[in-house]
Chain A
Amino acid sequence: MLSGSQRTGKYLISKNLDNFFIDIRELTRFTLQFFKEVFVPPYELQETIRQCYKLGYKSLFLITSTAFITGMVFTDHSRPSLASFGATSWLPSFTGVAVIKALAPLITSLICAGKIGSNIGAEIGSMKVTEQIDAMEVSAINPFKYLVVTRVLATTFMVPLLVIYSGLIGLLGSFIDVHRNDQTSFTVFMYDAFSKIGYVEILSSLIRSVFFGFTIGIIGCYKGFTTTKGTEGVGRAANSSVVTIMFLIFLEEILLVKFFNPFYYG
């Protein structure tokens, strides 16, 4: 597979634009190949579970600390604005909506882009430049199935779970701030926090995080698989995985929020 930067010679428009469109074409092929391979046996279940543990479970500490701090700081920063018109009692429902609808899916996915996306890009990139992927191929093993399908499934499955977890931890952080200032009980806080959140909001966050998880996996793997030029290329693969994933997550967020808006407001 050619990455955009591998092409030299005559260009149709300009070097950068040509490479950009070639990258899009190759990424589309790569994604189609994923859907072709994912349903065909043999299924690498054991490796997928290992990747879920490696990519998901091992991100828990980072997700926990970030979600907790975000929830707490967000509530703390929102308090003065609401207090200015005597509406601090709205804080639980306000933060509930913010955390569940926006902060949890977006922040968790961006953290995963940095931690998991770069990890996948660098790991597969390093395997590519040291011929470990070729070694799999000549041993009659399908490297796409073993390396790509397992990782993409793991991120697609684990990111939504991490989003749910991060939402709950974010609300816990928010509760501590509210409780410290207003002595609100946990039950009342949670009741208020979920009072403005329905199934549609939760479902929308989960569906968006499935898209984000898939994007993290497929872009990380694609960047790794198209790595060239030795160790320098591995660093570039890790870096460009993160940049591309973050850009696509924001793009998807805009489009998906637009898509879900009619369901929220009827």
Chain B
Amino acid sequence: MKNTKHDKVVVIKDLYKSFEDNEVLKGLGLELYKGENIIVLGRSGSGKSVLIKIIIGLLKPDSGTVEVLAEKIHELDKKELIKLRLKIGFLFQHSALYDSMTVRENVEFPLVRNMRNMSKSKINQAVEEVLDAVGLTDTIDQYPAELSGGQEKRVGIARTLILKPELILYDEPTSGLDPVTCEEINKLIMKVKERYKTSSIIITHDLACAKQTGDRILMLSEGKFLRQGNFEEVFDTDDERVTGFYNYNFIESNEN
């Protein structure tokens, strides 16, 4: 089935972003369709994290338009932005769990703050449901410092799911994890997509993650998308920037 304009979850046109003299994004364009997982692949410092921080409205672009769920995110006022963000989940690279709170408090925090009239029993039910979805019901009363890297990512994913988002942005979901845990997180990303019917943008430099979780891959280099397509299409090229990235990451993932 061909996707139509109404199925577009994110539309980015002609996006530019610089930090002083360093031009990070140079006229990017991107479209994410409903139910799709797209991967933005690129080296460290290529601007991948800047791109998703622009999509969620944490950073402002120098120029260009970013439409998320049919709203131009950088033209929204504070109230409208908060309303839109309730529909977007964001998994941070280092999970960004609140260290003074238990797993339960971390997961329920967005719900408690945004749905102030919700009963305690409904909140507990929602927390248990998302923790069950990520397979972490046993750790509910632990603090982030007591969790492994993989468990922290799972709690991070649970926290994004608690508000039932339509779009999830993953920033390096498998970074710093061992290959077995990476595999588990990749499976979890796919499970989330199936169970919660989400669309996702996944920022990574992990080829295994890209191959397993991506419907479409966009290769970011020097502030622009060099190539896009499925995994084979993207890497079927003689362009040294792409083959170099592939070879380096292929060796790195085999060494792991």
- Report the minimal beta-carbon distance from A219 to chain B, rounded to whole angstroms: 21
Closest to B81 in A: A140
CA distance A131 to B58 in the complex (A): 11
Per the 8 Å Cβ criterion, residues 43-72 of B in contact with A are 53, 56, 58
CA distance A178 to B27 in the complex (A): 79
Binding site for B on A (CB under 8 A): 8-9, 42, 127, 130-132, 134-135, 137-142, 146
A8 — which chain B residues lie within 8 A by C-beta? 20
Known: A8-B20, A9-B20. A140 touches B82 (CB 8 A): yes
B90 — which chain A residues lie within 8 A by C-beta? 135, 138-139
Known: A9-B20, A131-B92, A132-B96. A138 touches B58 (CB 8 A): yes
Residue from B58, B94, B109, B159 in contact with A137 in the complex, judged by beta carbons closer than 8 Å: B58
- Report the minimal beta-carbon distance from A16 to chain B, rounded to whole angstroms: 19
| Listed residue (A9, A137, A142) with the most chain B CB atoms within 10 angstroms of its CB | A137
B85 — which chain A residues lie within 8 A by C-beta? 137-140
Classify the interface of chain A: helix, strand, loop or mixed.
loop
A134 — which chain B residues lie within 8 A by C-beta? 53, 58, 92, 96
Decide if B176 is an interface residue (CB 8 Å cutoff). Answer: no
Tally chain B residues at the interface, Cβ within 8 Å: 24
CA distance A94 to B85 in the complex (A): 61
- Report the minimal beta-carbon distance from B64 to chain A, rounded to whole angstroms: 20
A141 — which chain B residues lie within 8 A by C-beta? 109-110, 113-114
CA distance A49 to B103 in the complex (A): 22
Return the CB mask of B91-111 against A: 1 if under 8 Å, else 0. 011101111000000000110
- Report the minimal beta-carbon distance from B58 to chain A, rounded to whole angstroms: 6
Decide if B163 is an interface residue (CB 8 Å cutoff). Answer: yes
Question: Are the CB atoms of B20 and A131 closer together than 8 Å?
Answer: no
